[in-house]
């Protein structure tokens, strides 16, 4: 056992880690040494284009596509100074408050009760450049559609083993500049400056290049979301956001991380490219580690600081009853809790009482959650942890992960491992062996896992919510997993899963067995055929084609599938889905169901639907949407992007009958005019979405409609 003094030091080292290395101190002596040693290798100022994306949280485009994918930033500007929706831009999966305020999402966050108000990031992208840059001057982000969502900028410091330590060097609304297409640059001291402050001689409007005048009913939704950004966050103008980097850090870098909070934008945010300006190191050598010892405050300095705070304080919290002090501590974010625990022995016991860690969200501290932190701090305090998030964390070793879940063990009800690229099959076995009572599991975007790595998950039997968005999971895991959890399963996200192999069989089993299903996300799911769609809802389908679909699989897959089908008693056909009486959310975006499918679907279970996304489902016809208006009285969100068949009278029926409708995407619906939408906005007060292809505006200070 460690002594109290040892734990005291470890706590303060953890506290420094939880500060996310946001303070980087430089000394003139270090800078002189660095300048001397690199003077022969530093070139003139260069502009660097990204060469690769190391990691990211989500993307709108498909795997293997070049439309709406994060890798689109790895090029020179292709869109700027045009403004609009371009397939050549980086686009994340979601935007605004719409996904956040759905019951399926709220279910995943309600247990994390400790409020981490400093963390508002929703998506991230880790960018790699070719050359190390020493004298970094600026980072220019080309925003070409719905700008203003940038939240945090990090730079990465690489050690000799290729490991990265991320240093936060900018957070909204810290100072930055905006460059418009005429190359005018405006310094923004604070993200809340008005248009009049920036260029009063140009316009006489209340809008600003940061804040848009294009308001709609999104603001009602945003009231429920904690964010630093206003609504809307920026004017609808193409712009370059220039983040100053000069003197922000002293080490060479070729890695940039951007985090975004797009919860207040009107529509999808799009980025053309990201350019890093600075002087490069021709030999790509990394400077001596000893020159940067001052990048993190030492533990002893922190202890002295905290001791002085205790001496100068007249408040004695230690005299409060245990339950009162426990309640007070529960309102602190984790960083503040650790700081308070370091002030005295009494508060150490109160703050680090195991029940304080019953709900532990470590995503806001992804950069500080190391193997050292786990083994020397969290293992001592997580014996009662039931809800655990390690989302976005980097390089947690097998031994540390094993020890942590062993400590939590049977207590764990919820585990969030989104975007944890260090996972492999051994980690999945740990989850299954130590956490048999798990109910909510998030493995979204864990692209490092292969299809066989997931197989142990089939033995779990209490799953209520499963998110495997953009993973390689397949039928070998999903079919037995669905069968084992048929009475419990409420929410499942299979979005962008393109290795399912037996997509129709998986969804058929979901529809047939999971009577408590509340939400299902099939966005861009690969393998849904027209014939397969018909077989899901009791419509007549071609049995021969279904058999040919199975025969197209390899012989080994056919044999495996036949065995699994017999074990789970796979139904050959579904006569009805009226037993799915709780289904409230379904996303069929980019799956293109046949005409008549939606009509039959909503006739059976439309009464409970509040969200229906049919993005790019071009076969959906007017009869389908009229049926939605007749059978979906609770509908709140409807996405019809790209529905070129739908006419205005059909949409009018939706607006008149679906009285709770708050979101309607009519982008690229060719038979619906902008003039009609303008009338509807005034008449119905709904939130209409309408995107358009990139275009030019002659007056650079005028917002795009």
Q: Quickly tell me which residue has 């019809």 as its tokens.
A: 640
Range 398-412 average pLDDT: 95
**What percent of the chain stands above pLDDT 90?**
63
Which class for 159: exposed (0-12), middle (13-18), buried (19 or more C-beta within 10 A)? exposed
Question: pLDDT-derived band of residue 680, with 50, 70 and 90 as boundaries?
Answer: very high
SS3 57: coil
Flag whether pLDDT at 344 surpasses 90.
Answer: no
Range 134-162 average pLDDT: 92
Angle, to 10 degrees, between the axis of helix 622-631 and the axis of helix 648-657?
10
Q: Quickly tell me which residue has 């949409």 as its tokens.
A: 651
Q: Look up the CATH superfamily of 528-556+578-695.
A: Ribonuclease Inhibitor (3.80.10.10)
Range 585-591 average pLDDT: 97
Query: How far, in Å, CA of 62 to CA of 67, rounded?
Result: 8
Query: How far, in Å, CA of 555 to CA of 90, rounded?
Result: 39
Instruction: Tell me what pLDDT residue 288 has.
Output: 46
Instruction: Tell me what pLDDT residue 134 has.
Output: 85
In what helix (H) or strand (E) does residue 52 lie, and over which residues does it extend?
strand 52-56
Omega into 232 within 30° of 0, i.e. cis? yes
Interstrand relation of 611-613 and 637-639 (parallel, antiparallel or unpaired): parallel
Flag whether pLDDT at 219 surpasses 90.
Answer: no
Question: pLDDT-derived band of residue 347, with 50, 70 and 90 as boundaries?
Answer: confident
- Eight-class DSSP state of 453: G
- 46-102+119-199+231-280 has which fold? Jelly Rolls (2.60.120)
Instruction: Tell me what pLDDT residue 466 has.
Output: 98
Q: Quickly tell me which residue has 């009494």 as its tokens.
A: 346
Flag whether pLDDT at 574 surpasses 70.
Answer: yes
In what helix (H) or strand (E) does residue 551 lie, and over which residues does it extend?
helix 543-551
Range 521-547 average pLDDT: 88
Least confident of 203-212, 236-245, 685-694: 203-212
Least confident of 103-112, 366-375, 503-512, 534-543: 534-543
Omega into 492 within 30° of 0, i.e. cis? no
Flag whether pLDDT at 598 surpasses 80.
Answer: yes
Instruction: Tell me what pLDDT residue 206 has.
Output: 39
Question: pLDDT-derived band of residue 703, with 50, 70 and 90 as boundaries?
Answer: low
Instruction: Kindly state the tokens that stand for 221.
Output: 């939704």
Q: How high is the mean pLDDT of the chain?
A: 86
Question: pLDDT-derived band of residue 345, with 50, 70 and 90 as boundaries?
Answer: confident
Instruction: Tell me what pLDDT residue 573 has.
Output: 80
Q: Cα-flanking dihedrals φ and ψ of residue 213, to 5°?
A: -95, 0
Instruction: Kindly state the tokens that stand for 525.
Output: 């799911």
Q: Which of 269, 272, 262, 253 shows the shortest CA–CA distance to 228?
A: 262
Range 52-65 average pLDDT: 94
Question: pLDDT-derived band of residue 296, with 50, 70 and 90 as boundaries?
Answer: very low
- Going from N- to C-terminal start, the domains of the chain cover 46-102+119-199+231-280, 528-556+578-695
Instruction: Tell me what pLDDT residue 245 has.
Output: 95
Range 238-248 average pLDDT: 94
Range 601-610 average pLDDT: 96
User: How many Cα neighbours within 13 Å face the side chain of 121?
Assistant: 24
Which DSSP string corresponds to 65-87?
--SS-GGGGSSS-SSTT-BS--T
Instruction: Tell me what pLDDT residue 276 has.
Output: 97
Specify which residues 166 forms β-bridges with. Answer: 156
Judge contact between 73 and 127, C-beta under 8 A.
Answer: yes
Range 188-194 average pLDDT: 69
Q: Quickly tell me which residue has 């906005």 as its tokens.
A: 681
Residues 6 or more apart in contact with residue 180 via CB below 8 angstroms: 186, 209, 237, 238, 239, 700, 701
Query: How far, in Å, CA of 506 to CA of 329, rounded?
Result: 45
Instruction: Tell me what pLDDT residue 9 has.
Output: 53
Instruction: Tell me what pLDDT residue 685 has.
Output: 76
Residue-wise pLDDT for 541-560, tens only, equals: 888 888 888 888 889 989 99
Which class for 300: exposed (0-12), middle (13-18), buried (19 or more C-beta within 10 A)? exposed
Range 25-51 average pLDDT: 60
Flag whether pLDDT at 86 surpasses 60.
Answer: yes
Instruction: Tell me what pLDDT residue 503 has.
Output: 94
Query: How far, in Å, CA of 186 to CA of 422, rounded?
Result: 42
Judge contact between 291 and 34, C-beta under 8 A.
Answer: yes
Flag whether pLDDT at 242 surpasses 90.
Answer: yes
Flag whether pLDDT at 210 surpasses 60.
Answer: no
Instruction: Tell me what pLDDT residue 11 has.
Output: 57
pTM here is 0.89
């Amino acid at each position: 056992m460690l002594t109290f003094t040892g734990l005291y030091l470890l706590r303060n080292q953890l506290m420094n880690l939880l500060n996310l290395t946001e303070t980087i101190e430089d000394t003139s002596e270090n800078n002189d040494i660095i300048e001397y040693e690199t003077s022969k290798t530093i070139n003139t100022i260069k502009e660097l284009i990204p060469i690769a994306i190391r990691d990211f949280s989500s993307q709108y485009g498909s795997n293997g596509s070049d439309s709406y994918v994060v890798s689109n930033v790895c090029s020179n500007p292709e869109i700027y100074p045009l403004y609009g929706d371009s397939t050549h831009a980086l686009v994340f999966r979601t935007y605004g408050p719409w996904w956040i305020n759905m019951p399926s999402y709220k279910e995943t966050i309600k247990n994390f009760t400790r409020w981490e108000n400093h963390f508002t990031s929703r998506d991230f992208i880790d960018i790699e450049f070719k050359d190390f840059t020493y004298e970094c001057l600026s980072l220019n982000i080309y925003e070409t559609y719905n700008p203003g969502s940038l939240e945090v900028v990090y730079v990465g410091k690489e050690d000799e083993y290729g490991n990265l330590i991320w240093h936060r060097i900018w957070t909204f609304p810290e100072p930055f500049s905006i460059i418009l297409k005429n190359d005018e640059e405006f310094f923004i001291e604070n993200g809340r400056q008005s248009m009049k402050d920036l260029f009063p001689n140009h316009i006489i409007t209340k809008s600003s290049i940061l804040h848009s005048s294009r308001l709609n009913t999104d603001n009602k939704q945003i009231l429920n979301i904690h964010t630093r950004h206003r609504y809307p966050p920026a004017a609808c103008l193409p712009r370059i956001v220039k983040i100053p980097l000069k003197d922000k850090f002293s080490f060479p870098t070729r890695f940039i991380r951007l985090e975004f909070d797009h919860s207040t934008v009107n529509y999808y945010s799009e980025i053309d490219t990201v350019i890093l300006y600075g002087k490069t190191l021709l030999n790509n050598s990394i400077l001596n580690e000893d020159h940067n010892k001052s990048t993190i405050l030492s533990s002893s300095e922190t202890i002295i600081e905290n001791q002085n705070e205790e001496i100068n304080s007249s408040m004695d919290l230690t005299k409060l009853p245990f339950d009162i002090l426990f309640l007070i501590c529960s309102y602190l974010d984790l960083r503040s809790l650790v700081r308070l625990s370091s002030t005295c022995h009494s508060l150490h016991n109160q703050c680090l009482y195991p029940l304080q860690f019953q709900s532990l969200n470590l995503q806001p501290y992804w950069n500080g959650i190391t193997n050292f932190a786990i083994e020397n701090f969290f293992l001592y305090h997580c014996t009662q942890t039931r809800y655990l998030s390690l989302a976005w964390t980097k390089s947690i070793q097998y031994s540390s992960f094993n020890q942590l879940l062993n400590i939590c063990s049977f207590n764990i009800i919820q585990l969030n491992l989104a975007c944890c690229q260090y996972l492999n099959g051994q980690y999945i076995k740990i989850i299954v062996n130590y956490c048999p009572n798990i109910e909510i599991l998030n493995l979204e975007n864990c692209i490092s896992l292969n299809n066989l790595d997931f197989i142990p998950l089939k033995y779990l039997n209490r799953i209520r919510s499963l998110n495997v968005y953009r993973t390689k999971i397949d039928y070998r895991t999903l079919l037995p997993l669905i069968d084992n959890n048929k009475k419990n399963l409420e929410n499942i996200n299979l979005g962008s899963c393109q290795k399912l192999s037996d997509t129709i069989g998986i969804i058929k089993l979901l529809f047939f067995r999971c009577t408590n299903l509340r939400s299902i996300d099939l966005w861009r799911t690969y393998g849904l055929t027209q014939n397969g769609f018909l077989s899901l809802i009791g419509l007549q389908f071609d049995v021969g084609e279904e058999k040919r679909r199975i025969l197209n699989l390899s012989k080994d897959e056919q044999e495996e599938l036949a065995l699994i089908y017999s074990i789970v008693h796979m139904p050959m056909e579904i006569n009805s889905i009226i037993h799915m009486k709780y289904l409230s959310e379904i996303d069929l975006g980019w799956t293109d169901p046949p005409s008549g499918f939606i009509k039959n679907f909503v006739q059976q279970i439309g009464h409970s639907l509040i969200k229906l996304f049919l993005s790019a489902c071009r076969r959906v016809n007017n009869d389908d949407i009229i049926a939605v208006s007749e059978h979906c009285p609770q509908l709140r969100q409807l996405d019809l992007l790209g529905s070129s068949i739908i006419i205005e009278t059909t949409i009018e029926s939706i607006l008149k009958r679906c009285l709770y409708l708050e979101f309607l995407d009519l982008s690229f619906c060719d038979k619906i005019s902008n003039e009609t939408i303008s009338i509807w906005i005034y008449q119905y007060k709904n939130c209409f979405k309408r995107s358009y292809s990139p275009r030019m505006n002659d007056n650079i200070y005028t917002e795009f409609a």
